[in-house]
Chain A
Amino acid sequence: MITRIEIDGYKSFDDFALDLPPFTVLVGANASGKSNLLEAVDLLGQLIREPTSQTLVDHARRGGPKELFRRGPDGVPVGAMRIAAHVLVHGYAGYCHLRVEARVTYADPPDPLRVDTDVLNVHDHYGYDPDRIPPPLPDLNLGETGQLHCTEVPVQDAAYRRELAETSGNWRILEPSPKAMRVVSSTYDTAPLAEDGKNLGAVLGRIARGPEAWYDFRADAVALLPDLVDIAVAANAEWGQWDVWLQHRHEHRVPPGAASAGTLRILALLAAAHDPAHEGLLLIEEPENGLHPTRVPQLLSRLKARTSDPATLTSGDGRQIVITTHSPVALAAALEDAPDSVVFLDTVTRFGDGLPPRRLTRAREVADSGERGTFVTPLEVRKYLDPTGRYARGA
């Protein structure tokens, strides 16, 4: 579970920091930095496991490694970019709150980029510098569960590197594609749900092996898809693939290949959130895509219910979900159900410091009052929630 993310020198991020609760809704206009934030987390995970220049080549999305570096007003890439996260990692001594930082130093082509990663416990990171104010720690229930926390029991950083690498392997972007989800899945597939959802059948098969987990999954699915009365999953030994059948009320059962795009997207997102073998951080791009607006609030509520409370975690990574959205319906639902989860991202133009103007991503929370310009005002929220209403018509 990531409790905080810091990004500097990466794309539009400059000295950016955001504390992450178990469930976060990132709201913002196009090109406000939402996807860049998810991709930074994904890249950090890759760099933790493989801190090389080639990792940047293999996992830089939307452009090559050079495009990852924020460019100065003169067009020159910054000297180094830095992505850091505070991560709750479970290991031999209980949970440890680690700070991991990947620093990539720019080099002009054709020299390779230099990648350094540092792992430190959060307590030590802040202890070294008296000017740093530590962010609030997750409320871990140390006494009753017997968990240990490295703020109290120092854990050698190296001792948790393996666990950190495993944990970071479960930070995954999800952007399910109906086309990909219509293909059959191998029974030998043990991977978490792929970014495009192509192994949906395998994840459903995995969930179906546990009666309680399967019931919980179907209960969530039918709450969102009321006409879906049953889902059947069976291992086809002859073909080594999962046979999946969706039974809608008063209709013949159909395989995923014949199901609607919206149905498949709901099943995929819920399957990822119910997968018993893969907890971790799900980074979901625009879950409202392809969904009827009336289903969006319920989807968010069901996803949020799958996230873990760090105070009651006893083992494993726990589940954490970050979604991006443009949807007024998703914003309304989040403000109603979990107002603390809502973070607006937008870009500001920075003037001054003797430099030409430059565009940067910032994060703001919704509030009724505060220092002007630092919070999302009720006016902004109203306009977002009602783009064709009073605001658009005037009065």
Chain B
Amino acid sequence: MGRRYLSLALLTEGASDQWFLVPLIDRQIAELALETPVGFDYSGVDVGECFTVAHRDLVVCEVTDLLCYYDIVMIHHDHNERGKVDAIRDRFPDDAHRIVALVPVRETEAWMLADPAALKEAAPARDTVWEVPHDVEKAADPKAVLRTALGGRRDAERDFGRLGQAVALEALRKVPAYRAWTAELRRAMERLRFL
């Protein structure tokens, strides 16, 4: 049997979520791949053509397309929209195991707060550790906390890409919503026999 490719698609709520999540997902896949018994080639996650805040029918149509071309389709929502992922999954009973929910508590920015060292790199002149709650899921407004932690030098979204590269996976593993996502991703990869 020839070498297998793992292909992954991502639908997010907005464009800036992708800047953080795309490098993060690729790093998480690399970590999971350490356990692969068979080996596979991976070219990186591709983002789809609509946002998950679009009309349900449009998202379903997009997911239908993506399931044709990708092994796993990840759907991102903030946690108060969690039900939307399940509703979409219900529309694809045969492929539900290939749809993975990526749902940070409150907002994606909560995951950017998980690693003080990564924040320190983005705001070297500030001592950010004291400004970020130890349990990032308890931050009522992660966007505001992140903005403060980065010192407001510039639009925080400009740092999303680098934070996606730098935030330590070990730190993220302490975040329950992150663990839930990686567990679901692992199950999907196991089911597809990549792990």
Contact = CB atoms under 8 A, between A and B. Distances in A.
A379 B66 contact: yes
Interface residues of B, number: 33
A372 B5 CA distance: 7
A202 to B, nearest CB: 44
B46 A382 contact: no
Given A373-B7, A394-B51, A348 B42 contact: yes
Contacts of B42: 348-349, 351
Interface residues of A, number: 27
A33 B3 CA distance: 20
A353 B15 CA distance: 36
Nearest to A349: B42
B39 interface: yes
Interface in A375-395: 377-380, 382-383, 390-392, 394-395
A346 B43 CA distance: 8
Contacts, number: 78
A394 B40 CA distance: 30
Interface core residue of A353, A374, A383, A394 (most chain B CB under 10 Å): A394
B43 A372 contact: no
Interface string A58-91: 0000000000000000000000000000000000
Nearest to B9: A379
B48 A379 contact: yes
A362 B71 contact: no
Interface in B21-60: 30, 33-34, 36-44, 46-51, 54, 58
A392 B15 contact: yes
B46 A380 contact: yes
Interface in A322-380: 346-353, 357, 360, 362, 369, 371-374, 377-380
B40 A379 contact: no
B5 A395 contact: no
A387 to B, nearest CB: 12
A17 to B, nearest CB: 13
Interface of A: 346-353, 357, 360, 362, 369, 371-374, 377-380, 382-383, 390-392, 394-395
23 contacts: A348-B41, A349-B44, A350-B3, A350-B39, A350-B41, A351-B41, A352-B33, A352-B36, A352-B37, A360-B41, A362-B43, A372-B69, A372-B70, A373-B71, A377-B69, A379-B46, A379-B48, A380-B46, A391-B49, A392-B15, A394-B51, A394-B54, A395-B49
Contact of A394 (B3, B15, B43): B15
Binding site of A, secondary structure by majority: helix, strand, loop or mixed? mixed
Contact of B69 (A347, A351, A352, A379): A379
Contacts of A382: 49
Q: 3 closest A-B pairs (Cβ-Cβ)?
A: A352-B39, A373-B5, A351-B33
Interface core residue of B38, B43, B58 (most chain A CB under 10 Å): B43
Given A350-B41, A372-B69, A373-B4, 19 more contacts: A350-B39, A351-B36, A352-B38, A357-B33, A362-B41, A373-B6, A373-B41, A373-B43, A374-B5, A379-B46, A379-B49, A379-B65, A379-B69, A380-B46, A383-B46, A391-B49, A394-B15, A395-B50, A395-B58
